[in-house]
């Protein structure tokens, strides 16, 4: 068996009149993330971590933001597409950190974990969600945007 890891990073701008979708879950907030798809920054980071671990490039190569097919795309369904590309690789673990000043993620963490685990086809104990604020500094702290990091570990027979 061989084991590989991949990292993922993404950031999106906060904008008025957009829903805030994180890990496939709509989070109550006065603004949301702007982007070509649903701008689900957390799911995008997970997708890139999986692609990295599998040596399959990055999210922009698979789902170009110049392609109208992905306008407003549901990122959880893109994640399912990526899981299908993994073939005989098994998702051992996915760890994530969301960098967001507001709102508090705690009420949503369990649902996000379940949603991501469902799309990954694994049990919730293989997925972890962490959140961190920007302490008032940088683009996260000034609430200009939200960022996410992910690490995926895959095994292959």
Selected from 6, 33, 44, 48, the binder of Mg ion by CB under 5 A is 44
Contact status, residue 27 vs residue 20, Cβ threshold 8 Å = yes
Q: How far is the CB of 39 from Mg ion (least distance, A)?
A: 6
Our CB check for Mg ion shows the closer of 13 and 93 to be: 13
Q: How far is the CB of 86 from Mg ion (least distance, A)?
A: 20
- The reply to whether 62 sits in an annotated binding site is no
Which residue stretch of 7-15, 66-74, 83-91, 104-112 sits at the interface with Mg ion (rule: CB under 5 A)?
A: 7-15
Which residue's Cβ lies closest to Mg ion? Answer: 44
Q: Does 10 bind Mg ion (CB under 5 A)?
A: yes
Q: Does 11 bind Mg ion (CB under 5 A)?
A: no
Q: Does 40 bind Mg ion (CB under 5 A)?
A: no
Alpha carbon 24 to its chain centroid, in Å, reads 9
Q: Does 48 bind Mg ion (CB under 5 A)?
A: no
Alpha carbon 119 to its chain centroid, in Å, reads 11
Q: How far apart are the first and last CA of the chain?
A: 4
Burial class (CB in 10 A: 0-12, 13-18, 19+), 26: middle
Planar angle of CA 128, 148, 144, nearest 5 degrees: 140
Q: What is the pairing mode between strands 127-132 and 90-99?
A: parallel
Annotated binding site: 10-12, 36-37, 44, 58-60, 63-67, 132-135, 139, 142
- Residues that bind Mg ion in the complex, under the rule CB under 5 A: 10, 44
């Amino acid at each position: 068996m061989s084991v590989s890891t991949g990292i993922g990073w993404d950031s999106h701008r906060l904008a008025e009149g957009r829903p805030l979708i994180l890990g496939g879950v709509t989070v109550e907030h006065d603004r949301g993330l702007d982007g070509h798809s649903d701008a689900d920054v957390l799911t995008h980071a997970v997708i890139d971590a999986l692609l990295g671990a599998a040596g399959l490039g990055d999210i922009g190569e698979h789902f170009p933001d110049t392609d109208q097919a992905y306008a407003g795309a549901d990122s959880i369904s893109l994640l399912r597409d990526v899981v299908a590309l993994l073939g005989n690789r098994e998702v051992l673990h996915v760890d994530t950190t969301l960098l967001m000043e507001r709102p508090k993620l705690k009420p949503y963490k369990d649902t996000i974990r379940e949603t991501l685990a469902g799309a990954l086809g694994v049990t919730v104990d293989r997925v972890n969600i962490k959140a961190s604020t920007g302490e008032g500094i940088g683009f996260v702290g000034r609430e200009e945007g939200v960022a996410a990091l992910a690490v995926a570990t895959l095994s292959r027979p």
